[in-house]
Structure 1
Amino acid sequence: MEMADSPLADVLGRIEKTCKIARRDPGEVTLVAVSKTHDAEAIAPLLTLGQRHFGENRVQEAQGKWPALKEEHPAVQLHLVGQLQSNKAEDAVRLFDAVHSLDRPSLVKALAKAFDKTGRQLPCFIQVDIGDEAQKGGCPIGEVPALLAQAREADIPVAGLMCVPPLDIEPAPFFALLDKLARDNGLEGRSMGMSGDFETAIRLGATHVRVGTALFGAR
């Protein structure tokens, strides 16, 4: 696949165009290619074209394909974008390079312990339950400052905040709220925006967009 004809070129072009409109530097936005449910064969073309940031939802699934791919492509940065169970924290820390789903005090403890044991420290995004949806996971908005303080006390490098807005509702107000929360708490990173809404997210301050379908096609 040539870069010019690829979905990757299309997504990168849209990121660049949106940054231009928003008067932002495209270098401020990291494209995380969400490769969950896709095998090594589907991931290989993106690696060949130079994509280096990838996202996975589940530790176990990532363990099945990424060790070999990372050996072949040592510059790859692997982002955990799905919920993390505390008992999988050590496995996650050994394989991933960033965690986007820190959402509760018990996970702060589990990650701190895993960092000590492995000697690795991963940048973490606090996942915020931006739409007040109990089923989604994420820290309630009012509890973000307390969780952030706990994470900092445990020497966890907090890179920013992450959210998944409610489905089928205009996402802009939720992205704007996450941007404000990040600013209020002195955080640089905003992990927000997926295939259907990443341009809106970029206009409202996203630093990391998590794109799957637009790159890999529908699952």
Structure 2
Amino acid sequence: MSLDLIRNGVAAAARKAGRDPAGITLIAVSKMQPEARVLPVLQAGQRVFGENRVQEAQSRWGALAPRFDGVRIHVIGPLQTNKARAAMEIAHAIHSLDRPKLAETLARLAQERGACPELFVQVNTGRESQKAGVLPDEADGFVARCRELDLPVAGLMCIPPAGEDPAPHFDMLREMAARNGLAGLSMGMSGDYETAIAHGATHVRVGSAIFGARD
């Protein structure tokens, strides 16, 4: 199945880069996919899934996750502050921390709950006006602010501009993470995950290459 091809591709890219494949988390992006496509991937042993919308994650995984041990949900899409509580209840990681108001909301909820998902700061490496994310020259200050709020920032995330060589964006993110003492790099999707791994990705978000094109 396609999942096996991607797993093999991740392992091969890691070995080529002189890295341990075990250090790379494959996130199967199940957003907008029917259960008929998600079930075989679960049955093949995949346990980490990415969802864009909190509501979709709740409706799908509230029923599905209890049937399989060890399912971990990563929220990878833009997160509205009014959905933050729900996101924290279902997500093991949030990859789209991108503004002070969201950071403050997550910090307050983390205090209330006594727990918080792993967090990745989204950086808009291409400075695209239509895209979410902290601008590159504001990222260091934003990471520092998140740490002041005692948020568990694990790393950085980016989505390079479509049609551009992603490598410089991955390099920028890696250098930014190193400068801030962050180990996590959420970067690389179906079309460029091998390049991302070569440039240090620890989490790759692969959807269509596993599930096929969304209907």
Scaled to the shorter chain, the TM-score interval is over 0.9
The alignment status of 1:187 with 2:182, answered yes or no, reads yes
Equivalence map 1:33-182=2 (5 Å): 33-182=28-177
Please say if residues 193 and 206 of structure 1, whose CA atoms lie closer than 8 Å, have aligned partners that are also in contact.
yes
> 1:24 and 1:32 mapped to 2: Cα distance?
18
1:39 shift after superposition: 2.5
Distance 2:183 2:160 in 1: 19
| Deviation (angstroms), 1:70 | 1.5
Q: CA RMSD in A?
A: 0.9
How many Å separate the matches in 2 of 1:109 and 1:208? Answer: 25
What is the CA–CA distance in structure 2 between the aligned matches of 1:184 and 1:134, rounded to whole Å?
Answer: 25
Shift of 1:119: 3.0
**Residue correspondence of structure 1 range 25-36 to structure 2 within 5 A:** 25-36=20-31
Confirm or deny that 1:9 pairs with 2:14.
Answer: no
Q: Deviations over 1:28-64 (max 9, x none)?
A: 1100000000132221111111101000001111111
Q: TM-score, normalised by structure 1?
A: 0.95
Compute the displacement of 1:149 (Å).
1.2
Give me the whole-angstrom Cα distance separating, in 1, the residues matched to 2:112 and 2:60: 24
Would the aligned equivalents of 1:40 and 1:69 in 2 still touch at CA under 8 Å? no
The percentage of aligned residue pairs carrying the same residue is: 49
After superposition, the C-alpha distances for 1:123-174 in whole angstroms (9 at most, x for unaligned) are 1000000000021110011111111111111111001000000001111111
Q: Deviations over 1:97-121 (max 9, x none)?
A: 1000000100001111222233321
Q: Which runs of 5+ in 1 are unaligned?
A: 1-5
Report how many residues are paired: 214
- TM-score, L = length of structure 2: 0.97
User: Unaligned stretches of 5+ in structure 2?
Assistant: none
Displacement over 6 Å in runs of 4+: none
